[in-house]
Structure 1
């Protein structure tokens, strides 16, 4: 079996594989949902799209008589089964700062609420590489990174300068050490400079020499931590599109060739398909998990309140499967989808994934995409 350390050591040469290093095993103690998954599991990692905790979400869940954990609604029990949750934090976490000039939308969450909510969900990592982390300027960005650090929530994709923004984060999930980094091709004005704060901005194109060099540098940094799993969290592409751009398909595959195990996409606010490339999942867009955005039901095929929790299962040192739990946003809370919405999510994901050559299976009431050699 080719281990994660082998892959990262050879990433510059373009070698790849999606076997991760066998680590200390963890028995799932009753969380297994049928005999098929009864084998020892190294980790269950949940991937979701946007976590927008600002604006009216913030107002609702900081009101008297509510608890920040309730933002996760009926998904909370499922989140508690995970070893870590990974998402895109589509806001800054601060009560300070000045609005970035000439923006239409500004998202900022109260620190006490946002941190408590993220902790209640078992959040292991959030990407800050997006077009809202600097909505309230440098002070709010610094507050965001500090609040996350104080809560031991790993984060990457933005920082006090470009070097800091590119630094991968490392966290533990079950029996695995995970390295994760964030990149975005949105809001170039937010891009960090050599001595200025901002995001890890880059053209997400595998044919761009500067981007290839940047990714190689990030993976070299990640390799120093000897991770078992490497995650790339990418805020890419325009809003409301139901399929990825060709350049992003090429970039996602190229990342896998360089040694990335899971490509975690977001930005469109709607579900896109999943591709399994060399045994690794490329989630082109996970949609929105929590937000207060308008529901674009007048756009054919676009239901931005409907998304999913994507659960990557690592078993016996290998990426085993991607379990899909349909969700929807109801009253600004993440909710397990009812039967009708759940079926729409399953059928839509299957259709959009089929266009990428991916088969989505049903098993004992679950929606499952095989990974690795399965």
Structure 2
């Protein structure tokens, strides 16, 4: 049930609907990719089928979301936000020298619409995988679908500007930035007359001051401010001191929620000054199902985050984590064994940050304790 004094947000980390996911959907684009490991995106579908069984292609547009759709609808969120880690384009101008290039054909946009996504962060290391033409088409297709974007644009001013989402008489401002530690090439940084992503440099007081100025320039009384940040490597639970300090500074600068991502698996979360910091939300949708390595992280297990923020103050009132398993390129409710593993693992990481996890009343999700 919603708390009438709160705004409810649904958040997901990396949503990677390109490559193998694109190939199973009705509007599949050109399967050619330019990787040393694989030359056809259909190869990732084959790997998933070898792991968990056949997929009847083409699937429905809502297929990748699977059982998550009903659980998302039940939460009745006011705003749904994801980090969209793929270009949405027909462009064939792949970025030379980059080892992986994600692309979803624009005809598959109904897959995002099926989940009623409201806002996308684009400040990540795959949005320019198909060049500046691919970025321009991505922005155009998302806007045409009524999905707001932040973190990438035609200029630095556009990339750094927030996506604005109405919340009754209030607004939600989504700022999005990327950090080189996540693999965003420095050449992708937007500037005064060049398109690209809002790429920040050192996690310093100077960088925070720049973000604080952008918040101050955009914020109106009553606005809720979410800062999406793509940072860190793909694997590991350790949160470096400078990253944690920077997240605290972002809260001090006016953020009501820090929404981090890049790691392929969920990382710990904490609460600082009554504001939630999600250091790494992990992937929600990708085509990694048949790829071996890093099994200790159980990366087939995914989380969706349901966050209640006080309407008046922006303070965190409730944070629920809903677990899923990706199987046959589709989200399924996590079984009891997987839920237990996730709760224990993330509970350990949250305790290191001064928080904890407990089971929800129905035993099927986790609630952050602080």
TM-score normalised by structure 2 residue count? 0.84
1:40 aligned to 2:34? no
Query: 10, 16, 20: which is aligned to 1:56?
Result: 20
Distance 1:171 1:340, change over 3 A: same
Distance 1:142 1:356, change over 3 A: same
Match in the other structure for 1:202: 200
**Which secondary structure does the structure 1 equivalent of 2:297 belong to?**
coil
1:129 aligned to 2:123? yes
Query: What is the rounded CA distance, in whole Å, between the counterparts of 2:168 and 2:14 in structure 1?
Result: 24
Query: 233, 244, 264: which is aligned to 1:249?
Result: 244
1:222 aligned to 2:218? yes
1:369 aligned to 2:368? yes
Match in the other structure for 2:323: 326
Match in the other structure for 1:311: 306
Match in the other structure for 1:73: 66
Q: Structure 1 unaligned segments of length 5 or more: list them.
A: 1-31
Query: 148, 155, 174: which is aligned to 2:149?
Result: 155
Distance 1:221 1:117, change over 3 A: farther
Is the Cα contact below 8 Å between 1:41 and 1:313 reproduced in 2?
A: no
Query: What is the rounded CA distance, in whole Å, between the counterparts of 1:78 and 1:290 in structure 2?
Result: 16
Query: What is the rounded CA distance, in whole Å, between the counterparts of 2:64 and 2:332 in structure 1?
Result: 9
Match in the other structure for 2:34: none
Query: What is the rounded CA distance, in whole Å, between the counterparts of 1:90 and 1:321 in structure 2?
Result: 27
Note the alpha carbon deviations across 1:25-56, whole angstroms, 9 max, x for none.
xxxxxxx2xxxx6x425432111110001101
Match in the other structure for 1:262: 257
Is the Cα contact below 8 Å between 2:324 and 2:331 reproduced in 1?
A: yes
Distance 1:82 1:297, change over 3 A: farther
Match in the other structure for 1:18: none
TM-score normalised by structure 1 residue count? 0.83
**Which secondary structure does the structure 2 equivalent of 1:269 belong to?**
coil
Return the offset for 1:345.
Answer: 1.4
Return the offset for 1:216.
Answer: 2.0
Return the offset for 1:249.
Answer: 0.6
Return the offset for 1:175.
Answer: 6.9
Is the Cα contact below 8 Å between 1:270 and 1:285 reproduced in 2?
A: yes
Query: What is the rounded CA distance, in whole Å, between the counterparts of 1:103 and 1:72 in structure 2?
Result: 28
Match in the other structure for 1:143: 137
Query: 179, 193, 206: which is aligned to 2:191?
Result: 193
CA RMSD of superposed structures (Å): 2.0
Q: Which runs of 4+ in 1 moved over 4 A?
A: 173-176, 294-298
Q: Structure 2 unaligned segments of length 5 or more: list them.
A: 29-56
